[in-house]
Amino acid sequence: MAKQTSKTYKKNPVFDINEQLGKLPPQSTDIEMDVLGALMLERGKDIVVLDILKPESFYKTEHQKIFKAIQDLSLNHQPIDYHTIIEKLKQNGDLDEVGGPAFVVSLSSRVGSAAHIEYHAKIIAEKYIKRELIRISSEIQTRSYDESIDVQEILEFSQQGMFDLALGSVNKEAMQIDSVMNEAIHQIEEAQKREDGLSGVPSGYSSLDRVTSGWQNSDLVIIAARPSMGKTAFVLSMARNIGVNHNKSVALFSLEMSSVQLVMRLISSETELGSEKLRSGNLQSHEWKQLESKIKSLEKARIFIDDTPAIGLNELRSKCRKLKTREDIDLIVIDYLQLMSGSSETRGNREQEVSMISRGLKAIAKELNLPIIALSQLNRSVEMRSGNKRPQLSDLRESGAIEQDADIVIFIHRPEKMGITEDDDGNSTRGLANIIIAKHRNGAVTDVNLRFREEFARFEEFNENFLPPLDEGAANSVTFESKINNGEDDFFDNSKSADTSFPDIGFSDNNGEDVPF
């Protein structure tokens, strides 16, 4: 792979590539002058035009400077006519460069009315977008000939350039409240029609869904925990519930584990067969039948797994768009945020990189109008804390922007993993998983208790009358080592055993009765 480079490229002038092609870049200087002249005629038209154009939208430098003067006057609530524009150009030192007072006065005499100014402004904006497309293409061409630049960096540049241009060219109008109100009432009516009463994507855990009403469209949900608390197991359990029980589509981006490893976990959870047996293939005949019968539901589930390592934000955005268009996915899961790579501009500053990634994930959630769940690491301060060692928002690793950008922040806290064997009331914490909703932009912050079946890496509804069996040795367990966490992982622990004689309690459908939280 080509070496990374910090080489900086200045914007190529649009006319460079056009000179090669023997063509003039898209422009309409006559319409530009008409718009500038119309702005001097009628008061209030600047409000319409400033929402469509910016100084660089104009082709000629003289026109850019005149429009910049008009923009400054408008922002300062000053009158706009050729007298004030000339005075502003003098202050900016640009009057002679634009052609002097005579040229400014001539603009006001070009048009007799500002009736079509909005239409003309849109033409100028379209010409500017075409010039920008040519400029970006020219820069892509230049970088592609440079052997010192990594091809992935070129792809990121091209995707980011196109995305920024598309984002900047969309002007979303303010909507009167009645139209928004109708959409809100429609959502309430649709929620009433559903038996579960949820307005979002269900997690499959009724106690959690009662708090969130399901994962909501455009929300960024952060699920954080220390290593080996069960982050991956939790989202896999949810993905299974969503895909199998609720027949919805889930896209899972795994940056650490391979797709086969994830599927092996799902099979172990679904069939209740130990992972070591699955890895070795040492199954009895009845276990093969059990495997074949129980994986049928998984095979039909619309769960899409992408295990691209160190995926960048632009590549993720592109893949999510395709999945939304082709498969109409309902939920995106990322495991996990700190393993994503930022742009070349933020490399070297990890905090800025993570901040940019979290903002980007929120932008993707809004753009595609679906929930995104991103897993995140916590720093070590939670382990040094005395008492119950409950995580706090300040424990989020590497960036405070994660807390700011997220709509929901959830912590997974398993007291037994922190050496706490009993709660304050003297109850055993074995198998207990506290799902701590620490931030909820549109709802309550509270705790939800779930049960973690470590032998199958599966989360289930909490049942106070049930405790998992005591461990009887490490012979039947296996540890999946994490390259990121230096051996710590959220699956099996060598100190735990897989008791295949586990009683048939009937938690496989994750649809138990409501439990107070």
Calpha distance 86→96 (Å, rounded): 10
Dihedrals phi, psi of 451, to nearest 5 degrees: -105, 130
Give the Cα-Cα-Cα angle 380, 385, 390 (nearest 5 degrees).
85
CA–CA distance, 228 with 340 (Å, rounded to integer): 20
CA atoms within 13 A on the CB side of 18: 16
Tell me the C-alpha distance between 402 and 128, whole Å.
35
List, as one string, the DSSP characters of 259-312: HHHHHHHHHHHHHT--HHHHHHT---HHHHHHHHHHSHHHHHS-EEEE--TT-B
Residues whose CB is less than 8 angstroms from the CB of residue 393 and which lie 6 or more positions away in sequence, other chains included:
403, 409, 438, 439
Q: Yes or no: say if 434 and 415 are a contact pair by the CB < 8 Å rule.
A: yes
- Kindly list the strands in the beta sheet with 372-377, ordered across the sheet, starting from the edge strand earlier in the chain: 303-306, 250-254, 331-335, 372-377, 220-225, 408-413, 432-440, 447-453, 458-461
The alpha carbon dihedral of 384, 389, 392, 398 has a sign of positive
Q: What are phi and psi of 49, to 5 degrees?
A: -70, -40
**How far is 152 from 312, CA to CA, in rounded Å?**
9
The H or E element that residue 336 is part of is none
8 Å CB contact between 407 and 221: yes
Tally: H helices and E strands in the chain: 19, 9
Task: Give the Cβ contact number of residue 388 at 10 Å.
Answer: 13
Q: Return the exposure string of 159-189: e unless at least 16 CB atoms fall within 10 Å of the residue's CB, then b.
A: bbbbbeeeeeeeeeeeeeeeeeeeeeeeeee
The DSSP H or E segment spanning 87 is helix 82-92
For residues 301 and 131, give the distance between their C-alpha atoms in angstroms, rounded to a whole number: 46
CA-based nearest residue to 219, from 368, 370, 438, 404: 370
Active site positions, annotated: 256
Phi-psi region of 43 (alpha: psi -120 to 50; beta: other; left: phi over 0): beta
